[in-house]
Amino acid sequence: MSQKNTLITIVGATAIGKTALSIKLAQHFNCDIISCDSRQFYKEMSIGTAVPDSEELASAPHHFIQNRSVFEDYSVGQFEKDALKTLDELFIKNPVQIMVGGSGLYVDAVLKGLDYFPDVDPKIRTNLTAELENKGIVHLQNQLRELDIEAYNSIAIDNPHRLIRALEICIGTGKTYSSFKNKPKAPRNFQSIKIGLKADREIMYDRINRRVDIMIEKGLMEEAKKLHPHKSLNALQTVGYRELFDYFEGNFTKEFAIEEIKKNSRRFAKRQGTWFRKDSNILWFDFQEDVQNIIKTIENKL
């Protein structure tokens, strides 16, 4: 087994079992876990983001779980810097470490590095946010389709934050958002072994539906109620909260809001699958695969 620094990265759709596998692998390799779930950073959002429970957190050392507040701005660029700094420290203790999460952009930020985008006039974002509120998301999606069809086809266009980000670059630079992507990045001082978990669609959707029911039982309604006054915060533009905010405002019935959470979670899982399937380096396993087989595969690559 080589002593080259290695980051074992576990990816896959929401509710597929990434947390459970990451803990088993961390215990086997006696290492830490870096979470790169872009919503588990926030301490006010523990139920709706399926943060590992206290028993799971005690099973292995975790980083970047509930270490921020929704009232702080925390970008993927900041996470990249913080995660790399933490990994440098962890690799001194153990050349094998684990990263887990379903946020493809955050995974790529750590493994490959981010694309550089020039600064643009902040007024552009302010104007686009006002357009989103007054004219709706479809209006912005149509703008992006006109300005940068490549970005329109590749980013999560139903994520208002990503949509506005792409548009502000197009408008502020006079160039397409896509033209700034995929330039050479700084090399990493570790190799990566990527493990993906998958399941048949019906099984995956059933797991998602059950997870939403469990979140409601655990108190997601109360958690969202406390956050409702701050609904415009970027961290809260998230499945599970947006739908309940609509319920609190009388736009949805409670039953409809819960069904919308399930539907939007399934859509999110589908987008995650699309993102990760593009990566030919991911070693895919059924979510019920014997963990010893996964460990054997990893050890053969170390």
Length of the chain: 302
Supply the DSSP string of 202-244, one letter for each residue. Answer: HHHHHHHHHHHHHHHHHTHHHHHHHHGGGTTSGGG-STTTHHH
| 10 belongs to a structural domain | yes
Q: Residue 104 contacts by C-beta under 8 Å, 6 or more apart in sequence?
A: 11, 272, 275, 276
- Give the span between the Cα atoms of 106 and 85, in whole angstroms: 15
Residues 64, 139, single domain; the answer is no
Q: Where residue 263 sits, what CATH number does that domain have?
A: 3.40.50.300
Q: pLDDT value at position 184?
A: 82
Residues 156, 26, single domain; the answer is no
Residues 148, 219, single domain; the answer is no
Residues 25, 98, single domain; the answer is yes
Q: How far is CA 195 from CA 253, 267, 286, 287, in A?
A: 40, 22, 11, 11
- Give the span between the Cα atoms of 140 and 158, in whole angstroms: 10
Q: Residue 89 burial (CB < 10 Å; 0-12/13-18/19+)?
A: exposed
- Give the span between the Cα atoms of 45 and 265, in whole angstroms: 16
**Residue where a domain terminates, one of 180, 201, 230:** 180
Q: Residue 24 contacts by C-beta under 8 Å, 6 or more apart in sequence?
A: 291
For residue 114, which of 172, 46, 183, 55 has the smallest C-alpha distance? 183
Q: Report the SS3 class of residue 30.
A: coil
Residues pairing with 175 in the sheet: none
Q: pLDDT value at position 249?
A: 98
Q: pLDDT value at position 2?
A: 53
- Give the span between the Cα atoms of 24 and 213, in whole angstroms: 26
Q: Where residue 167 sits, what CATH number does that domain have?
A: 1.10.20.140
Residues 172, 72, single domain; the answer is no
Look at the chain and report how many structural domains it folds into: 2
Q: pLDDT value at position 39?
A: 92
Residues 44, 96, single domain; the answer is yes
Residues 58, 201, single domain; the answer is yes
| 64 belongs to a structural domain | yes
Residues 20, 48, single domain; the answer is yes
Residues 131, 13, single domain; the answer is no
Residues 133, 259, single domain; the answer is no
| 200 belongs to a structural domain | yes
| 1 belongs to a structural domain | no
pLDDT in single tens digits along all 302 residues of the chain: 457 999 999 999 999 999 999 999 999 999 999 999 999 999 999 999 999 999 999 999 999 999 999 999 898 999 999 999 999 999 999 999 999 999 999 999 999 998 888 889 999 999 999 999 999 999 999 999 999 999 999 998 988 989 999 999 999 999 999 999 878 888 999 999 999 999 999 999 999 999 999 999 999 999 999 999 999 998 999 999 999 999 999 999 999 999 999 999 999 999 999 999 999 999 999 999 999 999 999 999 99
Instruction: Tell me the two tokens of residue 86.
Output: 């933490």
Residues 134, 192, single domain; the answer is no
Residue 261 identity: I
Residues 138, 256, single domain; the answer is no
| 164 belongs to a structural domain | yes
Q: What is the residue range of 270's domain?
A: 6-114+185-301
